[in-house]
């Protein structure tokens, strides 16, 4: 018998995350057999290059999932809600990057470095990949949890505008062109007045020369949906249903790579030396922590790379069980396409090779 490589479908191939996925598929070219690229009727019909070959973009339909072993969904919540169960009913294992199924009790939420085994139990045939903000955080925090026992997270994000999609990037670039070379930013409302007519994008306030403490939709009691997602997803991935999590999500004028300031309280006392040892060897983590020498992660250095970078590791001066961390992760790579690809490759390994 010859080895059969599983077949793959990529839904949302023409989007921003889809573009990153095609790069990753080309880098890991020997995993998959046939690769189908799929999009909405609006974007279908063109061709994209994957693994060096021009490949037609097919319109989404039920039939397109026939003979597909693994289907990646890199589109909107709405597309996933409608089409992912149909793809699964045709026999594909669905790996979904949207928020549609992340809190579904019958859908595992998987980060391969943290809970790889969870992907084997998938009653609906669907595996979910976490929010980009959770992903930048969980790889580092999960590694520390294994030794010290996690009790509480207080997270403040510095989120890149690409977390709000291509519209977010367009909005920041247009606004930057309007404020660069000016004296704006020192008088009440001056930035808002000047960028008021520009592409507002998905933000409720200017994002150039500003920060915007609101991400997602209104989730009640003052919380944004993104803040509650971090709480729900950390609890689910780490299987810690009573973990305390308080998150505040803030957009900053950065194109790609989310950063987070994280206060982590553990069950046991911690030391910076031991935390450094754990982080230096944790899969998917780069420790970059010599701040006096200028070595700390920033989005400008982390963007385009795969790992979560961790620096500014300090033990709280007033609590020997608490650490402060500053973490950066590219929201389009590990925060989206890469985590989905990692899950997909672990599923591919389930298929008989001969």
132 is a catalytic site residue: yes
Q: CB 304 → its own copies: shortest distance, Å?
A: 4
Q: Report if residue 261 touches its own copies, rule: CB under 8 A.
A: yes
Q: Draw the binding track, 168-207, toward its own copies (x: CB under 8 A; -: no contact).
A: -----x--xx-xxx--xxxxxxxxx-----------xxx-
**Residue 306 and residue 300: Cα distance in Å, rounded?**
14
Which one is catalytic: 145, 234, 249, 258? 258
* Interface positions, 278-297, toward its own copies (CB under 8 A): 289, 291-292, 294, 296-297
Task: Tell how far CA 161 is from the center of its chain.
Answer: 13
**Whole-angstrom distance, CA of residue 351 vs CA of residue 13:** 24
- Comparing CB distances to its own copies, the nearer of 118 and 191 is 191
Q: Which DSSP string corresponds to 127-168?
A: EE---HHHHHHHHHHHHHHHHH-EEEEEEEEEB-GGGG-HHH
Q: How many CB atoms lie within 10 A of CB 313?
A: 21
Which of 83, 101, 266, 326 binds its own copies (CB under 8 A)? It is: 326
Of 21, 35, 60, 303, the one binding its own copies (CB under 8 A) is 303
List binders of its own copies among 105-124 (CB under 8 A): none
Cβ–Cβ contacts within 10 Å for residue 291, how many?
A: 13
Q: Is 255 in the site for its own copies (CB under 8 A)?
A: yes
258 is catalytic: yes
Nearer to its own copies, 71 or 237 (CB): 237
Catalytic residue, candidates 132, 234, 249, 328 = 132
Minimum CB–partner distance for residue 302 and its own copies (Å):
8
Closest approach, Cβ 170 to its own copies, in A, equals 12
Which whole-number Å values give the CA distances from 204 to 69, 250, 268, in the listed order? Answer: 41, 12, 41
Instruction: Tell me if 212 contacts its own copies by CB under 8 A.
Output: yes
DSSP result, 41-62: TTTTTSEEEETTEEEEEEEP-S
| Contacts (Cβ under 8 Å, ≥6 apart) of 16 | 162, 165, 166, 332
Of 66, 78, 218, 269, the one binding its own copies by CB under 8 A: 218
Q: Which of 27, 63, 197, 318 binds its own copies (CB under 8 A)?
A: 318
The Cα-based distances of 342 to 33, 131, 210, 236 in angstroms read: 16, 15, 35, 19
The helix (run of H) or strand (run of E) holding residue 346 is helix 338-348
Helix, strand, coil in percent for the chain, rounding step 5:
35, 25, 45
Single out the segment in contact with its own copies by CB under 8 A; choices: 51-59, 76-84, 254-262, 341-349. 254-262
| Stretch of 39-47, 86-94, 122-130, 314-322 contacting its own copies, by CB under 8 A | 314-322
Stretch that binds its own copies, among 82-90, 101-109, 133-141, 312-320 (CB under 8 A): 312-320
Angle at 166 between CA 175 and CA 70, to 5 degrees: 165
Q: Which residues are catalytic, by number?
A: 132, 258
């Amino acid at each position: 018998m010859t080895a059969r490589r599983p077949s793959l479908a990529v839904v949302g191939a023409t989007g921003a995350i889809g573009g990153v996925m095609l790069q990753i598929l080309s880098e890991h070219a020997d995993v998959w057999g046939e690769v189908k690229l799929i999009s909405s009727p609006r974007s279908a019909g063109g061709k994209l290059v994957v693994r060096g070959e021009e490949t037609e973009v097919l319109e989404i339909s039920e039939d397109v999932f026939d003979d597909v072993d693994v289907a990646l969904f890199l589109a909107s919540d709405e597309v996933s809600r409608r089409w992912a169960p149909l793809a699964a009913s045709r026999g594909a294992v669905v790996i979904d990057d949207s928020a549609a199924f992340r809190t579904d009790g019958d859908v595992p939420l998987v980060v391969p470095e943290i809970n790889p085994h969870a992907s084997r139990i998938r009653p609906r045939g669907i595996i979910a990949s976490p929010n980009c903000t959770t992903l930048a955080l969980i790889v580092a925090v999960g590694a520390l949890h294994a030794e010290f026992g996690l009790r509480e997270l207080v997270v403040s994000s510095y989120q890149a505008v690409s977390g709000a999609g291509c519209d977010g990037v367009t909005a920041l670039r247009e606004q930057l062109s309007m404020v660069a070379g000016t004296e704006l930013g020192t008088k009440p409302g001056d930035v808002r007045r000047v960028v008021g007519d520009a592409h507002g994008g998905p933000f409720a306030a200017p994002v150039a020369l500003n920060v915007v403490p609101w991400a997602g939709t209104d989730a009640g009691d003052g919380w944004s949906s993104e803040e509650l997602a971090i709480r729900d997803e950390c609890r689910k991935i780490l299987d810690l249903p009573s973990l305390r999590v308080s998150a505040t999500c803030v957009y900053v004028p950065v194109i790609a790579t989310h950063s987070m300031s994280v206060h982590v309280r553990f069950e046991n006392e911690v030391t910076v030396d031991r935390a450094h040892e754990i982080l230096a060897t944790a899969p998917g983590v780069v420790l970059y922590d010599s701040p006096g020498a200028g070595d700390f992660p920033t989005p400008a250095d982390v963007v385009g790379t795969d790992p979560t970078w961790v620096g500014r590791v300090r033990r709280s001066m007033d609590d020997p069980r608490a650490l402060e961390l500053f973490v950066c992760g590219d929201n389009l790579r590990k925060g989206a396409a890469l985590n989905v690809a990692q899950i997909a490759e672990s599923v591919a390994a389930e298929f008989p090779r001969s």
